[in-house]
Amino acid sequence: MLTERLVGQLVESNVFVVGNEAECVVVDAGVQVQEVKKAVLGRKVLGVFLTHGHYDHCFFALDIAKEFGCKVYGSEFLKEYLLHPEHNYSEGQLKIESFESFVFLKGEGSLQLGGLDIQFWQLGGHSKSDMCFKLGDDIFVGDVLIGRDMGRLDLYGGNKNEMKKSLEFLLNLNYVTMHSGHGEDNLKTSQDKVAKLWLKFLCR
């Protein structure tokens, strides 16, 4: 699986272009279309996947979807955030009212898009709309993890008990590389990181 990280203009959120030599998906949407096109390199874009509903991860989602003629995928709770700027923290700049381009995912499952298999799981802790995606041996967890720490719990929909459940889930998920919503992308990331965060969480 080929994974390229882009750093967004909005709060330096991470955006990932993931796929093979012919097809790819975009995970999160904090960069403008022209930047995504540079990373896509002419491949077919099969979808935009949003890890949660905060504006720095969603702002250009519809622009990217329109450019590549694909759908936007995310948690069933994503709509609540995109409808309300006070929940997505865009200070009124992001309010989506038409969801014709969206596919809302519930619970856990998998999608086959072209030659790519995407697994998904509803998480929580940072927001009600947290979702984890897995392509190959890579997982994408959004702001459940930020760099070397956990995501904030004090924003709308944040919940300490849900964060505990998410960390427990990630401790037991089989993967090689974890990609978080902000911060340097560490190719050596493994369950060891989650275990350390779990211990830190218990000490709070």
Closest CA to 83 of 74, 70, 73, 92: 92
Which pLDDT belongs to residue 176?
Answer: 86
Q: Which domain holds residue 87?
A: 2-202
Average pLDDT per 10 consecutive residues for the chain, totaling 204 residues: 90 95 97 97 97 97 98 97 95 92 97 98 97 96 84 93 90 88 68 65 58
Global pTM value:
0.93
Which pLDDT belongs to residue 168?
Answer: 87
Which pLDDT belongs to residue 44?
Answer: 98
The total of structural domains in the chain comes to 1
Which pLDDT belongs to residue 182?
Answer: 92
CATH of the domain at 62: 3.60.15.10
